[in-house]
Structure 1
Amino acid sequence: MVDFGKTAEDYRQHRAGFPPELLDRLAGFGVGGPGQRLLDVGTGTGTLARQFAQRGAVVTGIDPAAPMLVQARALDAEAGVSVTYLEGKAEAVPLPNGSFDAITAGQCWHWFDRPKAAAEMHRLLVPGGRMVIAHFDWLPLPGSLVAATEALILNFNPAWRFAGGTGIYPAWFEDLSCAGFTGLESLSFDLAVPYTPAAWVGRIRASAGVAASLPPEEVARFSDALTALLAADFPGDSLLVPHRVWALVGRRG
């Protein structure tokens, strides 16, 4: 069973938040403006919620992993922003109908019971409110350090099912459409994210395939193996890791 609470510290330190350009683009859809009531589901350490709060939105975040919310509150305090956090699931948010003007789900939609979550998001939004599903994924381009890293993860955890991704999620269109959302539009752009070797090892530890799934002794072995792989095949003090940002925006009728 995947439990991100087991890797909350690495998640806080090493998982890069969504780039500000995504929020700039979402502003064009009317998402995240000052005073807007916004819910961030699967908020984790609040990487997306915090950015919207910094732009003046009134943000609530919800996540089932209490250790992640502890890290989120600590990061909010460092950033000088305020987000209201709830421990709970996206499929059953304990708040009234029409509580929000916008809802975001960053890097988490695949963990939900998607039909139930989509229906719950529809319930929670005001008419005309916007729903956003967003992803920020590494790209395993042939010969890249990401491809080599994914091969190593599978060596330690053959059950891991997220290798070989493209960062594009066509099935999410059906999820929102079946729940009654209209005017669906998507956007995407690519960028390279800089990591030190140690930070990349920490980032991978904080993934579903490693510390969220494996026992501690296997996590330690994996960290040593990835450190050795980077030193041998991708030497240097700075790594540029290819990523894709993708988002789907829908309107509640």
Structure 2
Amino acid sequence: MIKNNSIDHGKEFDWGRASSDYAKYRDIYPPKLYQKLLDMDLCTEGQNVLDLGTGTGVLPRNLYPYGASFTGTDISENQIEQAKNMAEQAGMDIDFFCMPAEASEFPDQSFDVITACQCFFYFNHTRLAPKLHGLLKKDGRFALIYMAWLPFEDVIAGKSEELVLKYNPEWTGCKETRHPIEIPDIYPRYFERESEEIFDVKVPFTRESWNGRMKACRGIGASLSEEKTEQFDTEHMALLEHIAPQEFSVLHYTAISVLRAKQAGWRA
């Protein structure tokens, strides 16, 4: 269980409870996102990459064909088990470990790139920033990635979000608008900002896959009882039959921020 007073007003959640839906329905990042990372020379051939908060290993599995060596960590045992199984089934040699990002147990200067996709705001940054600086090689980079639907611009996203709030009024992962990833004040001690980009994407879904995506959000599958999740499932599918065609796209925005590790002499 995770409890953070700045997230969902302190309501507990556990990503492990949503792992099966997460594995099935949350591999949705569009090719444009992965190409942006590759164009930035991130996660490319010859690089050692650590993916924090890896979940079911979506980022490493999709970028694996481009030649980087990946390691993924996550605090949820269920998520890591899903990641291991899916990588093995795909014939991918990726190391996955269940451990908090702040307590990553790797030697210093192990990685060329560290990524954090859809998870940066969960971490204890006072502990994480110096840890990551130590894990990165000289001039290593830390890439932050975030993607969210736009409920005020996309009717299907907006109506679905309203239903999530009906079942879980404490959920704070709502009412998104485009904005850069917020970088806590401690990071400039260890990193300098290299680049920042925000762009829109349209993500394709069917009624079933969008319903699964919504169940696999923090506000439903990771927070509610099985009974309440099933009730949401039924009501949401009925809603989609009225407002959505069988196949459709949902408007999202994506933000990428890249931080470069300062040289060892930053302490001076």
The separation in 2 between residues aligned to 1:54 and 1:95, in whole angstroms, is 24
**CA separation of 1:142 and 1:94: change in aligned 2, threshold 3 A:** same
My pick for the range that moved more, 224-233 or 85-94, is 224-233
Q: Could you say if the C-alpha distance between residues 149 and 39 of structure 1 is closer, same or farther in structure 2, counting changes exceeding 3 Å?
A: same
- 2:43 and 2:207 map into 1 onto residues whose CA distance is 34
Aligned residues with identical type, % of pairs: 32
In structure 2, stretches of 5+ residues that fail to align are 1-11, 263-268
**The 10-residue stretch of structure 1 (162-171 or 198-207) with the greater mean CA deviation from structure 2:** 162-171
- The one-letter code of the counterpart of 1:109 is F
Whole-Å Cα distance in 2 between the matches of residues 23 and 241 of structure 1?
18
Q: CA deviation at 1:175?
A: 5.1
> What is the identity, as a one-letter code, of the residue corresponding to 1:239?
F
Q: What's the CA shift for 1:237?
A: 0.8
1:151 paired residue number: 162
Q: Distance in 2 between matches of 1:252 and 1:97?
A: 13
Q: Deviations over 1:51-88 (max 9, x none)?
A: 23221101100001111111112221233211101110
Alignment correspondent of 2:55:
44
Between stretches 18-27 and 117-126, larger displacement belongs to: 18-27
Is the 2:125–2:184 Cα contact (8 Å) retained in structure 1? Answer: no
RMSD over aligned Cα atoms: 1.6
Distance 2:209 2:197 in 1: 28
For 1:146, give the aligned amino acid.
A
Q: CA deviation at 1:239?
A: 2.1
Residue number in structure 2 paired with 1:75: 86
Aligned residues of 1:136 and 1:243 also touching (Cα < 8 A): yes
TM-score of the aligned structures, taking structure 2 as reference length? 0.89
Cα deviation for residue 173 of structure 1 reads 6.3
1:135–1:167 CA contact under 8 A, matched in 2? no
TM-aligned CA deviation for residue 142 of structure 1: 4.1
Cα distance in 2, alignment partners of residues 248 and 78 from structure 1: 32
Superposition map of 1:5-16 within 5 A: 5-16=16-27
Aligned equivalent of 2:7: none
- Which of 206, 216, 222 pairs up with 2:216? 206
Query: 1:175 and 1:61 mapped to 2: Cα distance?
Result: 24
- In terms of mean alpha carbon deviation, does 46-55 or 168-177 score higher? 168-177
Q: Deviations over 1:120-165 (max 9, x none)?
A: 2112101200100101211112461111111111111010011111
2:152 to 129, 141, 156: 141
When residues 168 and 175 of structure 1 are mapped into structure 2, their CA distance, relative to the original with a 3 A threshold, is farther
Contact persistence 1:173–1:248 (CA under 8 A): no
Count of residues in Structure 1 that have an aligned counterpart in Structure 2: 251
Of 206-215 and 162-171, the range deviating more from structure 2: 162-171
Match of 2:14 among 3, 26, 30: 3
Partner of 1:188: 198
2:229 maps to 219
- Residue 254 of structure 2 aligns with an amino acid whose one-letter code is V
Asked whether 1:172 is paired with 2:183, we answer yes
Partner amino acid, structure 2, of 1:237: Q
Distance between the aligned counterparts of 2:184 and 2:199, measured in 1?
18
Aligned-partner SS, 2:17: helix
Runs of 4 or more above 6 Å deviation: none
Query: What residue in structure 1 maps to residue 30 of structure 2?
Result: 19
* Structure 1 SS opposite 2:102: coil
d(CA) in 1 for partners of 2:119, 2:154: 27
CA distance in 2, matches of 1:34, 1:170: 27
Aligned 8 A contact 1:37 1:58 in 2: yes
